[in-house]
């Protein structure tokens, strides 16, 4: 798939493509939300054309979009994006590569998800300490806690 998608970014005129394995994110930036919507729809048309030419199938059902803007700007704007004639659902939060992104760029949704994972990890570690050596508990810590705590730091 990498050989097929390596030239995908060249078909985009207004977006920056972020490709990781089989995940693709398009980033469109403009001071006007209305203009950003037009630019995004233009590149979505280019995306469909590129996929069709390369005999690839895009899972439109899994395709979502998020608008990053202040609360005030978002309340006064309705964005409509389409891909292959189908409406794309807008979301307020989206999990991308393990990080929960919020439309107002607040960390609360990501921290909530992280706390849930770490709470489960604490429970597991307390139960495990009765049955495993310190070395095994250390391995559990690195598998359950450390990876979640360092994910953002290592990726950025």
Rounded CA-CA distance 89/40 in Å is 14
My answer on whether 24 and 81 are in the same domain is: yes
My answer on whether 94 and 127 are in the same domain is: no
Rounded CA-CA distance 19/57 in Å is 16
Per-residue pLDDT of 124-134, as tens digits, reads 888 888 999 99
Beta strands in 43-98 (DSSP E): 64-65, 82-83, 86-87, 89-90, 93-96
Is pLDDT at 156 greater than 70 in this prediction?
no
My answer on whether 14 and 51 are in the same domain is: yes
Per-residue pLDDT of 50-102, as tens digits, reads 999 988 888 888 899 999 887 766 666 788 999 988 999 999 899 988 888 89
My answer on whether 113 and 97 are in the same domain is: no
My answer on whether 64 and 26 are in the same domain is: yes
My answer on whether 96 and 112 are in the same domain is: no
What integer pLDDT is reported at residue 49 of this predicted model? Answer: 94
Last residue of a domain, one of 68, 87, 102: 102
Q: Record the pTM.
A: 0.74
The domain in which residue 112 lies consists of 108-155
Is pLDDT at 117 greater than 90 in this prediction?
no
My answer on whether 125 and 86 are in the same domain is: no
Using CA atoms, how far residue 40 sits from 14, 19, 119, 132, in Å, is: 7, 17, 39, 53
């Amino acid at each position: 798939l990498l050989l097929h998608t390596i030239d995908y970014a060249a078909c985009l005129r207004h977006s920056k493509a972020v490709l990781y394995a089989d995940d693709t994110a398009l980033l469109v930036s403009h001071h006007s939300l209305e203009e950003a919507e037009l630019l995004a729809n233009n590149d979505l048309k280019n995306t469909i054309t590129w996929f069709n030419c390369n005999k690839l199938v895009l899972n439109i059902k899994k395709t979502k979009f998020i608008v990053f803007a202040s609360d005030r700007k978002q309340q006064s704007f309705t964005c409509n994006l389409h891909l292959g004639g189908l409406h794309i659902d807008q979301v307020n939060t989206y999990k991308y590569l393990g990080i929960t992104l919020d439309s107002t760029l607040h960390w609360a949704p990501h921290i909530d998800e992280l706390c849930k994972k770490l709470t489960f990890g604490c429970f597991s570690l307390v139960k495990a300490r009765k049955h495993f050596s310190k070395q095994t508990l250390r391995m559990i810590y690195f598998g359950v806690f450390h990876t979640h705590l360092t994910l953002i730091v290592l990726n950025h």
